[in-house]
Amino acid sequence: MMQNGDRVAVAVRRQDTHEIVVRPLPVARKFPRLGQMPFLRGTFRLYDTMALGMRALNASAQIAYPEEEQMSKGGTFVAFALAMVIGIGVFIILPLVIANSVSWLRLGNSIVFNLVEGVIRLLIFFAYLAGIRWLMKDIRRVFQYHGAEHKVVYAYEAGEELTVENAKRHTTLHPRCGTAFLMTVFVIAILVFSVAGNPALWLKILSRILLLPVVAGLAYEAQRFAGRNFERAWVRILAKPGLWLQRLTTGEPTDDMIEVAIAALAEVRTTEAGAAPVEAPTGCPAD
């Protein structure tokens, strides 16, 4: 999937004919005005990106397997809500509960508590990514396509002709990727959650949930700044952890995967003056 402003396209290689089918995907932003306000837009952009990702997955399944029954809109909403609940439970509440079970942490300094909680959260996230990468063959292919998207975006940003050979020369690691955004979220969460102190467990859980929009807003602004100032040495240094993490969420693509990514980008690219640059692919909210 490629996005250029409000233009989104999904490209899929059919399983039966092996032809590449490209389908435009309309964007429906919730609360568009609030989505433009600094420090508020992060939460709304994150929601829009997740919703768009679900729609893109449904569209790709319809193209790749047209003979199979697809998930309804109601089913998509339930899956989206369930994913949100599981994500909050596993990556927000579980690390908190584990850290809180250690008495000297529970009764000690709030900064130390939140630092340990943040490290536990990162370890769980790393284990999750490594697990699905190495244990699930289909996910490995998804990560290869993720790498293909990044390579093609790099070729486009370099002003090169969009060919497989040109794209292959580029790295799979991109500073505007959603994986880098998640790393930024985890780091900022340590700082923001420290504001809540070290109260009872139920208050900690409540504070984490209520402060999530604050974390998302600050992380979005940080990621946006990094993407637009990546030529600065100190920005590149700070962005390194997010790029390293992409080694788990991207893979070296095959030539036919790059062809699919090129087809998606060709659908949304524009030569109009002042047009927005093509964004990084699915789950990459910073533009």
Beta-bridge partners for 11: 22
* Predicted pLDDT at 285: 35
Shortest CA distance to 226 belongs to which of 287, 182, 278? 287
In a domain, 216, yes or no: yes
One-letter amino acid for residue 163 of the chain? T
Q: How many CA atoms lie within 13 A of 27 on its CB side?
A: 20
Per-residue pLDDT reduced to its tens digit, 125-148? 999 999 999 999 889 999 999 999
When pLDDT is cut at 50, 70 and 90, the band that residue 272 belongs to is very low
Q: Which has more confidence, 221 or 57?
A: 221
Q: What is the mean pLDDT of the chain?
A: 84
Average pLDDT, stretch 46-71? Answer: 75
164 part of a folded domain: yes
Mind listing the pLDDT tens digit for each residue in 175-205? Answer: 888 888 888 888 899 889 988 888 899 999 9
Please enumerate, as own/partner, the contacts of 93-101 that have beta carbons within 8 Å and a separation of 24 or more.
Answer: 93/205, 93/208, 94/124, 95/120, 95/121, 95/124, 96/201, 96/204, 96/205, 96/208, 97/201, 100/201, 100/204
Mean per-residue pLDDT, 158-168: 94
Q: Tell me whether residue 198 is in a domain.
A: yes
User: Which pLDDT does position 273 carry in this prediction?
Assistant: 37
Residues 60, 10 contacting (CB under 8 angstroms): yes
pLDDT of amino acid 277: 44
Mean per-residue pLDDT for 249-254? 94
**pTM (2 d.p.):** 0.82
Residue 4 φ/ψ, nearest 5 degrees:
-135, 95
Q: Which amino acid is at 81?
A: A
State yes or no: pLDDT of 275 exceeds 60: no
Alpha-helical regions (H) of the chain: 41-64, 73-88, 94-100, 103-106, 110-135, 137-157, 164-168, 178-194, 201-228, 233-249, 255-268
- The pLDDT value recorded for residue 256 is 94
Q: How distant, in Å, are the alpha carbons of 2, 152, 208, 222 from that of 8?
A: 6, 15, 33, 24
Q: What is the pLDDT of residues 77-136, one digit of tens each?
A: 787 788 889 989 999 999 999 999 999 888 888 889 999 999 999 999 999 999 999 999
Give the mean pLDDT of 39-55. Answer: 78
Total domain count, the chain: 1
pLDDT value at 21 more than 80: yes
Domain that holds residue 142: 73-268
Nearest CA to 139 out of 246, 271, 268, 249 is that of: 249
Residue 220 lies in a domain: yes
In a domain, 118, yes or no: yes
| Predicted confidence band of residue 18 (pLDDT cuts 50, 70, 90) | confident
Rg (CA), the chain: 20
Which pLDDT value is given to residue 274? Answer: 41
The answer to whether residue 249 sits within a structural domain is yes
Say if residue 36's pLDDT is above 80: no
Specify if 237 maps to a domain.
Answer: yes
Q: What is the pLDDT of residue 30?
A: 65
- CA–centroid distance for 157 within its chain: 20
Return the pLDDT at 71. Answer: 63
Please give the average per-residue pLDDT across 238-249, as a whole number. Answer: 89
Answer yes or no: is 34 within a domain.
no
Q: Which two tokens stand for residue 227?
A: 């993407």
